[in-house]
Amino acid sequence: MNKKIITCMAAIACAVFLTTPAAFAATSVLKGDVDGNGVVNVDDKALLQSYILGNKVNIVQANADVNGDGSIDAIDYAAIGKMVNTNIKGDVDGNGIVNMEDKTRLESYLLGNNVNIVATNADVNGDNSINSIDYADLLRMIK
């Protein structure tokens, strides 16, 4: 009888242990991640700007209020601006790493699509123009 109860309790504890991390992931706050996709990049900056300008866009309020003062405003926008990387050549989306996502984003930008980019990072060769030469340089960086 006692053994059965203990087994049952262990099972419950185990179930709680297994489900808790997932629950945390769904509700945890990532300051700066305005769109709630799990990374802070130039898209979050652009989305917050749109929100502050009064556009009806969906944002994760807890993430957008970076300084936690209960209002989402220009101060938070400036804070996110600092979180988005502008000093890594090739980091087109400004998330701090150079990878295939940056390649895809630059490709889309060069095709004329309306995508957000960090211009200083996308201009890989630093000639003040973002073009196929930068794209070729970026390809070499991630290979």
Residue ranges binding Ca ion (CB under 5 A): 33, 35, 37, 44, 65, 67, 69, 76, 91, 93, 95, 102
CB nearer to Ca ion: give 5 or 26: 26
Q: Which is nearer to Ca ion, 37 or 104 (CB)?
A: 37
Cα→Cα distances 121→78, 98, 100, Å: 19, 10, 14
Q: Is 54 left (phi over 0), alpha (psi -120 to 50) or beta?
A: left
Pick the closer one to Ca ion by CB: 33 or 134: 33
Q: How far apart are CB 61 and Ca ion at their closest, in Å?
A: 10
**CB neighbours (10 Å) of residue 88?**
16
Residue 3 burial by CB count (10 A; 0-12/13-18/19+): exposed, middle or buried? exposed
Q: Which tokens is 78 given? A: 């400036």
CB of 132 to Ca ion, least distance (A): 19
Decide if 66 contacts 80 (C-beta within 8 A): yes
Task: Work out how close the CB of 44 gets to Ca ion at its nearest, in angstroms, rounded to a whole number.
Answer: 4
Tokens linked to 82: 């600092």
Least Å distance, CB 67 to Ca ion, is 4
95 vs 116 by CB, closer to Ca ion: 95
